[in-house]
Amino acid sequence: MFDSQPKVIDESRQGEAIALDSSPDSGKKLYIESYGCQMNFSDSEIVASILTGAGYSTTRDEQEAEVVLINTCSIRDNAEQRVRNRLHHFHARKRRQPGLVVGILGCMAERLKSTLLEEEKIVDLVVGPDAYRDLPNLIGEVESGQKAVNVLLSREETYADISPVRLDQNGVTGFISIMRGCDNMCSFCVVPFTRGRERSRNPETIVHEAKYMFDQGYREVTLLGQNVDSYRWNITKKNEVIDPEQPTVNFAQLLEKVALAVPEMRIRFSTSHPKDMTDDVLETMAKYHNICKYIHLPVQSGSTSVLKRMNRGYSREWYLNRIAAIRRIMPDCAISTDIIAGFCGETDAEHADTISLMRNVAYDFAYMFKYSERPRTLAERKFEDDVPEEVKQRRLEEIIELQMENGKASNERAVGKTFEVLVEGPSKKSDAEWCGRNSQNAMVVFPKGDFEKGSYIHVEINACTAATLKGEVVPS
């Protein structure tokens, strides 16, 4: 019951320009382009809010912008190369528009500050994920003829007091960042080095933001964190209460708070970590109709020995136990994952373990990648990237082929069933059709009728493609 098209890399929102409507006399024009994960797009909404408050107006037309900010991702080399190409493009434009300010934000900014500012000299401004409040001052420094940089990481910054400017285009679905940073030290990942230590937002500010979004017409929200299962408020990882006079809140309790606060709004979350997902989260999901029955649970590898080298903190058996718990508590829950082919030292037998786990779980959807060594990671320091490129490619193709089978079977199982669908808007392929997603996050296409965006309808599925469910609207 999911988009079964395999994703080698999530490029659905790579390089998306985002903007809001604003009055033409509201100040200098700001253009923001975002790459990478949902957290980056959420951060861009925070940046837009901060700079709108400082008198800027935003635009989707890069040609009319006086300030260009690229919000970046360092997870894979492919993403970095895309960003570099865009930076060179804007640097060339500066020759025709000398006053143009070009800045880089986010993970890549923190990692490559010296290279981009001093060696390649293709940016004026470098700002890390915890320094966005300083943007108005830093832009002022650039305009006075200086280069500006702030990549200091924080143990406290959550931007909880900032109301993000909603930049998504459909006005129905949106994001709320519930925490920042990551304490997991997966050997292949740069996030702990670029986003800093883990810290959670005050739950009341999250509930308030969800209510505000509902009042603005949103009908679905995704709670975002690098590892949402480790969300905790007023309690340490050792389960020590910080302030005895205040309540403690874990992720299951936060889910319940949001679900009760906006009962007519769908709740999703991303991303979960297998080592931290507990049964109380699953039981809370099962309890509330408005918490979507969909979990993204990255496995990365089906081999315990590879997982150990990846420093994932769980074994194959532990992961399968979590899958069994999901199936037991929520039989109708869709499950997606991330898989890396060709990690350091991966043998044919270890690759076969991944294939067998995929057959066992039968994922509805997967993001699949070849291993790409990233600077400053534990894997770069400790292991050799020794799996030949052609072997990585062959293994990735096997993974993709199997996932195509799993995804197709998932969609075919949905035929004949009826789902509640949130209407998101017109279908991309036909003006005669509209589309929306069901609780399991599958895209559903149906004939255009007298429906409003943001309304819930029931659709009986009568056909499917590799990527989409198709059906007819039936009485609720």
Q: Which helix (H) or strand (E) holds 81?
A: helix 77-94
CB 343, CB 302: distance < 8 Å: no
What are the angstrom distances between the C-alpha of 165 and each of 20, 39, 126, 193, 380?
A: 8, 14, 22, 27, 38
CATH annotation of 173-412: 3.80.30.20
pLDDT value at position 154? 86
In this structure, how many other beta carbons lie within 10 angstroms of the beta carbon of residue 178?
26
pLDDT value at position 167? 66
> What's the CA gap between 328 and 278, in Å, rounded?
13
pLDDT value at position 15? 54
Residue spans in the chain of domains classed CATH 3.40.50.12160: 16-150
- In the structure, how many helices (H) and strands (E) does the chain have? 14, 22
pLDDT value at position 221? 96
- CA 429 to chain CA centroid, Å, is 25
Report the interhelical angle of 38-53 vs 135-143 (nearest 10°). 70
Structure-token pair, residue 211: 């209510």
Beta bridge partners of residue 471, listed in sequence order: 461
pTM of the model: 0.85
> What's the CA gap between 33 and 29, in Å, rounded?
13
Q: Which helix (H) or strand (E) holds 48?
A: helix 38-53
Comparing CA positions, the residue from 31, 333, 44, 13 lying closest to residue 175 is 44
Q: What is the DSSP string of 457-474?
A: EEEEEEEE-SS-EEEEEE
Regarding the domain delimited by 418-474, which CATH topology (the fold level of the hierarchy) does it fall under? OB fold (Dihydrolipoamide Acetyltransferase, E2P) (2.40.50)
pLDDT value at position 14? 47
Beta bridge partners of residue 458, listed in sequence order: 420, 474
Structure-token pair, residue 156: 């406290």
The class level of CATH for 16-150 reads alpha beta
Q: Which residues of 424-435 are buried (b: 16+ CB within 10 A; e: fewer)?
A: beebeeeeeebb
pLDDT value at position 350? 98
Q: How far apart are the first and last CA of the chain?
A: 20
> What's the CA gap between 7 and 99, in Å, rounded?
40
Amino acid at 233: W
What are the angstrom distances between the C-alpha of 265 and each of 151, 167, 255, 454?
A: 36, 19, 12, 10
Strand runs (DSSP E) across 220-377, as ranges?
220-224, 232-233, 249-250, 266-270, 294-296, 334-341, 365-370
Q: For 181-200, how does the pLDDT look when each residue is reduced to its tens digit (9 = 90+)?
A: 999 999 999 888 888 899 99
For residue 234, report the phi and psi dihedrals to the nearest 5 degrees: 65, 25
Structure-token pair, residue 246: 């205040």
Structure-token pair, residue 343: 């990690």
> What's the CA gap between 333 and 30, in Å, rounded?
41
Structure-token pair, residue 169: 């285009």
Q: Which residues of 284-299 are buried (b: 16+ CB within 10 A; e: fewer)?
A: bbbeeebbbbbbbbbb
Residue spans in the chain of domains classed CATH 2.40.50.140: 418-474
> What's the CA gap between 301 and 395, in Å, rounded?
12
What are the angstrom distances between the C-alpha of 221 and each of 171, 177, 269, 298?
A: 11, 10, 8, 21
Per-residue pLDDT of the chain (476 residues; tens, 9 = 90+): 334 333 333 333 445 544 443 434 447 899 999 887 788 888 898 999 899 999 999 888 999 999 999 998 766 677 778 888 899 899 899 888 888 999 999 888 777 777 777 767 889 999 988 999 999 999 999 999 988 999 888 888 888 888 877 766 668 999 999 999 999 999 999 888 888 899 999 999 999 999 999 999 999 999 999 999 999 999 998 889 999 999 999 999 999 999 999 999 999 999 999 999 999 999 999 999 999 999 999 999 999 999 999 999 999 999 999 999 999 999 999 999 999 999 999 999 999 999 999 999 999 999 999 999 988 899 999 999 999 999 999 999 999 999 999 999 999 999 999 999 999 999 988 889 999 999 999 999 999 988 899 999 999 999 998 889 999 999 98
* Residues 6 or more apart in contact with residue 46 via CB below 8 angstroms: 132, 159, 162, 164, 177
Residue spans in the chain of domains classed CATH 3.80.30.20: 173-412
pLDDT value at position 13? 41
